[in-house]
Amino acid sequence: MKGLLKVLSPFAPDQSGAVEALYEFGGLIVVCDAGGCTGNICGFDEPRWFKKKSAIFSAGLRDMDAILGRDDRLIAKLKAAVEGSGANFVAVIGTPVPAVIGTDFRALKRIGEKKAGLPFLTISTKGTGLYDEGEEDALLQLLKAFALDALPVEKGILGVLGATPLDLSSLSAAEKLTEAYRQKGWKDVRCYGMGSGLNAVRRASAAQQNLVVSPAGLKAARYLQKKFGTPFTVCCPLPHKLPCDFQSFHGKRVLIIHQQVFADTLRDSILQSTDADVTVASWFMMDNALRESQDLHFEGEKQFQAAAIRGGYDIILGDKMMERALPDYKGRWIDLPHFAVSGRLVP
C-alpha cells in the first residue's frame, strides 16, 4: 500500500528542515504547533539544540485555538516574547495543525511585522513534506528578506548554500568544508546556516561565487545568480572518510542513496578511479539538471525494495537504517549515514 511503512520509519520532515536552515541566525523561531512537533524537531532533528542555544518556541496551540482560529492570541504571545529579546527576526514555521485549519501565513506576516516591529518569515510547511522542502523555502525567504543590497563583489569570498546537519550529517562539516576551500585558495568561506550568521547573509551579494552542497540550496543559488549575478557550482565535498576503497568497485554496479548533491559528488569521485556503473538515488528532491538517465527517485518503501533488488547492484552505499528493508539483498552494503534518514551523525 502506498504510504505504508512496514520497515522504515519516517524521514526528517519539512518543518525540521525549515528550523535547521534558520537555526543560527539569531531569529525567534516559533513552531506553530501544540508542542509535539517542536519536541520532535529539537529533540531529534536538530543535533545543535543540545549544545547551542537558539530561541525556539512552540506556539502551544490548544484545541480551541485551532477550532476558533485565534491568531490574535498567537500574535500577542509573539509580541511578548519579542520584547527585550534582541531577536533579528521572527520565523513562524507551519505544521499539520495550521495546514488543516488553513492558517493565512501571509496575513500573519503582515500583522506580525506591524505589531512586533521585526521582519517576519512565515514558512508554510505542513509536516507532510520532507526536510529539504522546508529548508529550501526558509533559505530562500531568508535571502529575500536580508540580502537586499547589491554590494561590490569581493574576490575570494565563497558562499555555501544548503548546509545543515540534516544534509551533511556532521556538526563539524562546515569547519571541514571551510578548511578544504581555504586550501583551494578561497580566503573567506561563508557557510550560511552553519557557522556564518545574519551579517554574512546581508552581504551575500559580495560573494565571488556560491557553492551548493545540497539540492535544498539550489533555489537560493539561482535566486542570487538572477538578482546579483553570483555564479554557483554544485558539489558536496565528502565530510568524512568512507570505510572502503573505490578500487574494489571496479566493474561493479553501484547504487548510492543519499541527498542528490552528496551522492553526485561521491559518484564523480568513484568514476575518477574506477569504471564502475554508478546510479544515484534519493528519497529527497532531485534536480533534473543534475540527474543522469539511470538515476532513481524513491517515493515509497515497496518501490525502494523493488528498485534496489531489480537493479542487481553489487554495492549499495546508503544509511544502514535502510538495509533492514532489503533482507534479500545479497550484495555489499556500505554505511553512509544520513541524519535526515536515521538521525545518526557521521562518527
Partner 1 sequence: MAEAFYRTAAQLAYSGCDELPQEFQPDKHLIYSSPATLAFNSPGAQGFGVKRAGLAIPGSVMLLISPGCCGRNTAAPGPSGRYSGRMFYMLLDETDIVTGRHLSKIPGAVKEICEYCSEKPTAVMLCITCVDALLGTDMERVCRSAEEAAHVPVVPCYMYALTREGRHPPMATVRKAVYSLLKPMAKRADCMNIIGSFSPLSSGCELYRLFNKAGVRHIREISRCKSFGEYLNMAQANFNLVLNPESRLASGWMEKALRIPSIEISRMYQIDKIHNQYRLMAKALDIPWEDQQDYDAAQEEIARFREKHGGTVFAVGEIADADPFELSLALLRYGFCVSEIYGTINKINFWFLQKIAALSPDTRVYSNLSPTMLYYRPSTPQAGIAVGKDAAYYHPGCAHVMWCGEEQPFGYDGVRSLFKAFAKALEGVAK
Per CB under 8 A, 327 contacts partner 1:
no
- For the CA atoms of 266, 288, 14, 104, the dihedral, rounded to the nearest 10 degrees, stands at 160
Nearer to partner 1, 2 or 226 (CB): 2
Q: What residue type is assigned to position 240 of the chain?
A: H
Nearest to 240 by CA among 168, 181, 192, 190: 168
For partner 1, the closer CB: 50 or 226 = 50
User: Among residues 37 and 281, whose Cβ is nearest to partner 1?
Assistant: 37
Which part of the chain contacts partner 1 (CB under 8 A), choosing from 54-62, 184-192, 240-248, 309-317? 54-62
Residue 39 or 156 having the CB closest to partner 1: 39
Handedness of CA 223, 89, 164, 340 (dihedral sign): negative
325 near partner 1, rule: CB under 8 A: no
Judged by CB under 8 A, which of 75, 99, 111, 325 binds partner 1? Answer: 99
33 binds partner 1 (CB under 8 A): yes
Per-position b or e across 187-204, b if 16+ CB within 10 A of its CB: ebbbbbbbbbebebbbbb
Question: Distance (Å, rounded) from C-alpha 175 to C-alpha 76?
Answer: 39
Q: Is 343 in the site for partner 1 (CB under 8 A)?
A: yes
Of the candidate residues 75, 81, 151, 334, the single one contacting partner 1 (CB under 8 A): 81
Interacting residue with partner 1 among 52, 117, 128, 250 (CB under 8 A): 128
Site string (55-74) toward partner 1, x via CB under 8 A: xxxxxxxxx--xx-------
Q: Give me the 270-309 binding string for partner 1, x by CB under 8 A, dash otherwise.
A: ----------------------------------------
**C-beta of 156: minimal distance to partner 1 in Å?**
37
CA distances from 248 to 77, 252, 254 (A): 59, 8, 11
Joined together, the cell numbers standing for residue 211 give: 557553492
Run of H or E including 316: strand 315-318
Half-sphere exposure of 240 (CA within 13 A, CB side): 15
Give the whole-angstrom CA distance, residue 231 versus residue 210.
6
Distance, in Å, from the CA atom of 46 to the CA atom of 169, rounded to the nearest integer, reads 11
Which residue among 21, 38, 234, 284 contacts partner 1 (CB under 8 A)?
38
Return the range that interacts with partner 1 (CB under 8 A); candidates 96-104, 147-155, 273-281, 306-314. 96-104
Can you tell me the distance from the alpha carbon of 239 to that of 278, in angstroms, rounded to the nearest whole number?
20
Q: Which of 48, 109, 115, 126 binds partner 1 (CB under 8 A)?
A: 126
> Where does this chain bind partner 1 (CB under 8 A)?
1, 3-6, 9-16, 30-31, 33-40, 42-45, 49-50, 53, 55-63, 66-67, 77-78, 80-81, 84-86, 95-97, 99-101, 126-128, 130, 321, 342-344
